[in-house]
Structure 1
């Protein structure tokens, strides 16, 4: 195989992988989701939960997020991680946390379009000991008054149009993790570090790609010069 053919095929493969990656990212970020970074959320313990909220309106930004905690979960404590430009309020009914609301200050909403998202981290507990998952119905309010109600439970393999975020609860390990405020708070801070690590990896891969591309161009130029010299000779 000639050098020219090799690099032509390499460019085609790289382009295909890039397109697939972008398409996959779009699909994965299509709905509001709930994730747990670090240690799993355990039954009877405190979980550090992160809501990932993508904007899905082309001409309006997201201005408010409301998360309703199930009444039968009887969660008595919740704490939010500050989000710059947003205020957080925790509602309780007696000793039970019922709702957490984040509201954007002017100019700090999740931008209009379909390329931006924001993460809202909080700790909650004690988590129910008799349930395997925690469904977090979430309302997403846009600047034009539109409300997306992410509250539909998933039914088998078919995903509803507006699925509610769900957190899977692990069995209690009995090691004491997740039962103290400091442990839950440190776990809630992990998404920021995870994002930084992801950014560093992306930069490293991007730099490596540029180096490989430069080497390819160098080899191609060398081959062209050698061919010209042979022709002149």
Structure 2
């Protein structure tokens, strides 16, 4: 009987361990926030880069802007401990705006850690800010990104979203773009510029992040409860085993 109790506790431990693995959240990857913006408007884009390795630091991040949907104005916010380089390329088709014709646009941004101490360490993340606009007339912008680790390994976040909505193994940061509103009167309390769309997108992104945080909290509490139940079963089995025959 005592051996049966112990074996039962071990079996439950294996089942609970498998359940914890199945319910663990997927590994984080390079993302852009907000997730949505408005065509023709300006947006502050934040590229969030988590370090997924436990034995190496992230020393360089490269973000590529598509040349077929160029953005006329791109500026970067300085990041302490990192050197940023923005590379321009000559466009196959110039962009026309209020200032005339734009023949070159930023097509690549590279952030490089100034020293090992400022690199993104295991268990940490860093955010890099970019101001961009006017955003092109397209349904989305895919920012293909390369993440370089201190051991020389390069993770390529370059896979575009699948047609069926399934997330690929190494998804590229993607910004969805909505068409600018064509109504003559803006709703009360809002402006009629592209910045309004950006603000709404920021609020939506924040709400999504809060929802994910609550979901992760609930998952963590559930997992903790399972672990405590497992401990109780094992202790009960040990206590039964020590009882006199």
Per the shorter chain, which TM-score range?
Answer: 0.5 to 0.7
Q: In the alignment, which residue of structure 2 is the partner of 1:214?
A: none
Q: In the alignment, which residue of structure 1 is the partner of 2:110?
A: 101
Residues 1:31 and 2:29 are matched in the alignment: yes
Equivalent runs, 1:43-122 vs 2, <5 Å: 43-94=39-90, 95-106=104-115, 107-112=117-122, 115-122=123-130
Q: Please give the per-residue CA displacement for 1:15-64, whole angstroms capped at 9, x wherever unaligned.
A: xxxxx9xx77x53x611111118xx5210121211111110112110001
Classify the secondary structure of the residue corresponding to 1:73: coil
CA contact (8 A) 2:180 2:194 kept: no
Query: Please, which runs of 5 or more residues in structure 2 have no aligned partner?
Result: 1-19, 91-103, 183-191, 211-245
Output the CA distance in 2 between the equivalents of 1:147 and 1:157.
26
Output the CA distance in 2 between the equivalents of 1:141 and 1:111.
12
The structure whose residues are more often strand, as a share, is: 2
Residue 154 of structure 1 deviates from its aligned partner by 1.9
**For 2:171, which of 163, 167, 188 is the aligned residue?**
163
The structure whose residues are more often helix, as a share, is: 1
CA contact (8 A) 1:41 1:48 kept: no
Q: Which structure ranks higher in relative contact order (CA pairs < 8 Å, sequence separation ≥ 6)?
A: 2
Q: In the alignment, which residue of structure 2 is the partner of 1:176?
A: 193
Residues 1:145 and 2:152 are matched in the alignment: yes
TM-score w.r.t. structure 2 length?
Answer: 0.58
